[in-house]
Amino acid sequence: MALLEIDNLTHYFGGLRAVGDFNLHLEEGELVGLIGPNGAGKTTVFNLVTGAYKASEGSIRLNGAELVGKPPYVINGMGISRTFQTIRLWNSMTVLDNIKVAHHGRVKYNLLDMFLVLPRYRESEREIEAHAMELLRLFKLERHAHEPARNLPYGEQRRVEIVRAMASQPRLLLLDEPAAGMNPGEIGSLMEFIHWIRDEFKLTIWLIEHQMRLVMNICERIKVLDFGETIAEGTPAEIQNDRKVIEAYLGEEVEGV
Amino acid sequence: MFADLNLRKRWAAVTMPLREQLRRIPTLSYLVGLFAAVVLEQAVGKDFAQNVLDFRRLPRFFGIVDIFEPFGNLDFSGVLAPFFPSPTGLTQTPVQDAGNAIGQLVTDFVNALFYQGPRDPGFFSVFLRVLVYDVVVFVIPTLVVALLVGWLLTHLLRGLPGWLIVALNVAALYTVVALWGGDGGTRELTLVYMGINIMLAVSLNLVNGYMGEFSVGHAGFMAVGAYVSSILTMWFFTDTTIFEGAPLVATDSGVVLVVGFVVALVAGGVAAALAGLLVAFPSFRTRGDYLAIVTLAVNFIVQGVLNNIEVVGGARGLNGVPLWSDLQWVMILTIISVIIIYNLVNSTYGKGIIAIREDEIAADLMGVHTRQVKLVAFLVSSFIAGMAGGLFAHALAYVNPGMFGILKSTEALVMVYLGGMGSISGSVLAAVIFTLLVEALRPLAILKWVVIPLILIFLMLFRPQGLFGFREIKFNLRGGESAAAAQEAGDGTA
Ligand SMILES: Nc1ncnc2c1ncn2[C@@H]1O[C@H](COP(=O)(O)OP(=O)(O)O)[C@@H](O)[C@H]1O
Ligand SMILES: [Mg+2]
């Protein structure tokens, strides 16, 4: 059984068919790309998988368990985590607190424990803080731990968002345009970084990206959307030579090629 | 100009070692100092005030209340009254009468500033003598004793666990306030209002400051708590014509009364929390302006319902609520409320509330059970408001729906915005200032409600973040390194 199975996923915004008949099976440990022109429906697919939107039709299963209809926090707890196309950190909170709050699913105390600062509360808080600091150290962000998230440079904020996504110990990580706003040098290190995450945490990664250099270099499999419909699917080499894909991107500015 | 600058620099340089010393001693030393000052006031305060400073009685609330008293004689009604009189009341034309009244007002105002007669000193005279009194009786003794015990306390506190130090400080604060304010008179009543205001401000800040919603109907929850607890205590413990005459429990046993009051207050809090559901559920679907309207509606619904239930007195309300909210009760519940909110917003769970304010969608997607968190925030907030309402009713000995209208809700808002959003210490400080302001401006009668909103307008213009927006007052609980220095060192190594 595949880790994630998406069958006949369709979503309408009013009359607009934003995603139509989307199918994808992700195997454990894969690194898969989702590309397509602006407005093709890529982010919408992520929003459907993570529960931000409820799919109009179709099925999404994680290890066989249906996700459609489940609230986002439950899906997050089941092992799917993500980053956002535009950074959505909790700006006024410190970097450490950003990571800690993403541990919400691991909170092991009730209100009374908390109000009275009972041992169970202290134990759980210690555990969460230790795990959060450990993550920050792994990602070399510990020196920013006590700074408000908004004070960090753009590139660092993107990294913090990835760390925050890792806090819930996901099996599947969704990255929505991780290279947006980065220069070629930064994109190079981002590619290494993504590989490193997958190997270090034994994750499955599914990413949306406009930067063709990144997608073609690191993805094992690529899916191409246009106007919500899948127009191609295959290895990077196959996609690069696909006529439909070239047509879809014609006239659109293709960054990074 | 330059000389002035130099003097200021010199003064700063000369006082530098002293200020550094004051920064290094632990907070507890100040509380011990205050304790000494309070004892000093009880011993010689009255003598000093009456014989040396020529006060008629002990200055009230550090003299803050006395300062504005000279303005109490001003008659503003004379200015507008001639335009709406019974014609026989006029001596000349309305304009001339009003002119005379204005002239009189100016004369009275100048007299109020300087001198009104041997028994009625002017503002400046009172102000200067109050200043002398406060400095001699409170400031100097507090600082001297604080410095004397500071070094010792720094050593005594070393190695003690953090919670014990906090407990010691809370106990010391409790003792000082109880000793200074437990007079069974105006001091005590003002402190009782102060504690209730702290509970209101801190609980409203949870929703408006930490969660970023805009609740404008906090008094509605207060009303529910006030009524439910009053009904229970009246029914069980007092003679009342409303609830079947004789008390259900006729007892003088202190324990029974204490337990009864606790149960009544908690029941009031729980009822208020249930009313909080009326806001919590809509908050799952809507926020911002729309939720603000919901909170306003809930305030009106509560008032409307109470106005129309004859059993609880309708618009007249309930009279004969037992006078049980003394300083001790209020202090204990205030401290508990502040601790509850503090622990909530400093826990990983409670920081989910702040995450909802900053970006609710991200919170949802990163694993925060946002509905549950919102529910908890609204329930805790309205529970504490309900308890505050219960204390309020038992401090005044009566309740009626009119007390819990939009004006009361606005008072809570004023305190939250004065203190600063998302700041517990700010809200506490603001509630203290606000309560004192209301007391101090009492001589101005209705004009108070011109002055207080004006203060709010100036605050919004010149310090929109409030006194402590999104920051907390830092206490140097352990002593030694000053709090600021410790903070810097902490940042440096982080
Ligand atoms: N919440 C929404 N309501 C209505 N239309 C939406 C919403 N989100 C996205 N859309 C529309 O759906 C289409 C796909 O958007 P999106 O998934 O963001 O594209 P992509 O990420 O591929 O650039 C676009 O036409 C967009 O305008
Ligand atoms: Mg997108």
Q: CA A193 to CA A217: how far, in whole Å?
A: 13
Global pTM? 0.91
Q: How far is the CA of B372 from the centre of ligand 1 (A)?
A: 29
pLDDT at B4: 66
Q: Are A71 and A53 in contact (CB under 8 A)?
A: no
Q: H-helix or E-strand containing B377?
A: helix B370-396
Q: Catalogue the long-range contacts made by A147-152 (C-beta closer than 8 Å, 24 or more residues apart).
A: A147/A94, A147/A95, A148/A91, A148/A92, A148/A93, A148/A94, A148/A95, A149/A89, A149/A90, A149/A91, A149/A92, A149/A93, A149/A94, A149/A95, A149/A98, A150/A89, A150/A91, A150/A92, A152/A95
> B57 or A45, which is more confident?
A45
Beta-carbon-side half-sphere exposure of residue B208 (alpha carbons within 13 Å): 31
Nearest residue in B to A85, CA atom: B362
User: Which region among B42-56, B250-264, B444-458 has the lowest average model confidence (pLDDT)?
Assistant: B444-458
Q: Reply yes or no on whether the pLDDT at B43 is more than 70.
A: yes
Residues 6 or more apart whose Cβ sits within 8 Å of residue B185: none
Angle, in degrees to the nearest 10, between helices B424-440 and B448-462:
150
Three-class secondary structure of residue A169 per DSSP: coil
Q: What angle do CA B140, B146, B152 make, to 5 degrees?
A: 155
The distance of Cα B373 from the centroid of its chain, to the nearest Å, equals 27
Residues 6 or more apart whose Cβ sits within 8 Å of residue B175: B35
Q: CA B51 to CA B352: how far, in whole Å?
A: 58
Q: Whose CA is nearest to atom 3 of ligand 1?
A: A13
Q: CA A98 to CA B385: how far, in whole Å?
A: 30
Q: CA B452 to CA A204: how far, in whole Å?
A: 60
Topology of the domain covering B184-462: ABC transporter involved in vitamin B12 uptake, BtuC (1.10.3470)
Q: Are A147 and A131 in contact (CB under 8 A)?
A: no
What's the mean pLDDT when you consider all of chain A?
93
Q: CA A205 to CA A223: how far, in whole Å?
A: 14
Q: CA A127 to CA A107: how far, in whole Å?
A: 9
| Closest partner CB to B359 (pick from A73, A76, A88) | A88
Residues 6 or more apart whose Cβ sits within 8 Å of residue B200: B218, B222, B385, B388, B411, B412, B415, B431
- Verify whether the Cβ–Cβ distance A101 to B358 is below 8 Å: no
pLDDT in tens, B155-175: 999 889 988 999 999 999 999
- Verify whether the Cβ–Cβ distance B350 to A111 is below 8 Å: no
Q: How far is the CA of B87 from the centre of ligand 1 (A)?
A: 73
Dihedral of the CA atoms B258, B262, B264, B268 (nearest 10)? 160
Three-class secondary structure of residue B200 per DSSP: helix
User: Which region among A183-197, B61-75, B224-238, B325-339 has the lowest average model confidence (pLDDT)?
Assistant: B61-75
Q: Which of A48, A114, A151, A168 to mutate to test the interface with B (most CBs of B within 10 A)?
A: A114
Q: CA A181 to CA A194: how far, in whole Å?
A: 17
The DSSP 8-state label assigned to residue B63 in this structure reads G
**B346 interface with A at CB cutoff 8 Å:** no
pLDDT band at B241 (very low <50, low <70, confident <90, very high): low
Angle, in degrees to the nearest 10, between helices B370-396 and B348-358:
100
Q: Hey, where are the domains in chain B? A: 17-176, 184-462
Tokens 């139509």 correspond to A20
What's the mean pLDDT when you consider all of chain B?
89
pLDDT band at B457 (very low <50, low <70, confident <90, very high): confident
Q: CA B295 to CA B286: how far, in whole Å?
A: 12
- Verify whether the Cβ–Cβ distance A76 to B367 is below 8 Å: yes
Q: Are B308 and B401 in contact (CB under 8 A)?
A: no
Q: How far is the CA of A253 from the centre of ligand 2 (A)?
A: 15
Cβ neighbours of B207 (radius 10 Å): 28
Closest-CA residue to B20 (of B475, B482, B477, B474): B482
**A111 interface with B at CB cutoff 8 Å:** yes
What number does the ligand 1 atom closest to the CA of A176 have? 21
Nearest residue in A to B373, CA atom: A104
Q: What average pLDDT does the segment B196-223 reach?
A: 97
- Verify whether the Cβ–Cβ distance A104 to B347 is below 8 Å: no
> B7 or B335, which is more confident?
B335
Burial of B408 (0-12, 13-18, 19+ CB in 10 A): buried
Three-class secondary structure of residue A172 per DSSP: strand
| Pocket mutation for ligand 1, best pick of A44, A208, A209 (most atoms within 8 Å of C-beta) | A44
pLDDT at B41: 93
Cβ neighbours of B36 (radius 10 Å): 19
Backbone angles phi, psi at A221, to 5 degrees: -145, 145
Residues in contact with ligand 1 (CB, 6 Å cut-off): A 13, 18, 36, 38-44
Three-class secondary structure of residue A100 per DSSP: helix
pLDDT at B245: 67
pLDDT at B88: 61
Tokens 């309560």 correspond to B435
Residues in chain B: 494
ipTM score assigned to the predicted complex: 0.93
Ligand lying closest to the C-alpha of residue A22: 1
Q: CA B228 to CA B158: how far, in whole Å?
A: 47
Cβ neighbours of B481 (radius 10 Å): 14
User: Which region among A100-114, B242-256, B424-438 has the lowest average model confidence (pLDDT)?
Assistant: B242-256
The DSSP 8-state label assigned to residue A94 in this structure reads B
pLDDT at B483: 47
Q: Are B49 and B59 in contact (CB under 8 A)?
A: yes
- Verify whether the Cβ–Cβ distance B366 to A51 is below 8 Å: no
Q: CA A115 to CA B446: how far, in whole Å?
A: 41
Q: Whose CA is nearest to atom 18 of ligand 1?
A: A43
Q: Tell me chain B's radius of gyration from C-alpha atoms.
A: 25
Q: CA B307 to CA A147: how far, in whole Å?
A: 51
- Amino acid found at A107: V
pLDDT in tens, B75-128: 777 777 777 766 566 667 778 888 888 888 888 888 888 887 777 888 999 999
Q: H-helix or E-strand containing B365?
A: helix B360-365
Q: Whose CA is nearest to atom 21 of ligand 1?
A: A43
Tokens 């410790």 correspond to B486
Instruction: Report strand pairing: A204-208 vs A172-176.
Output: parallel
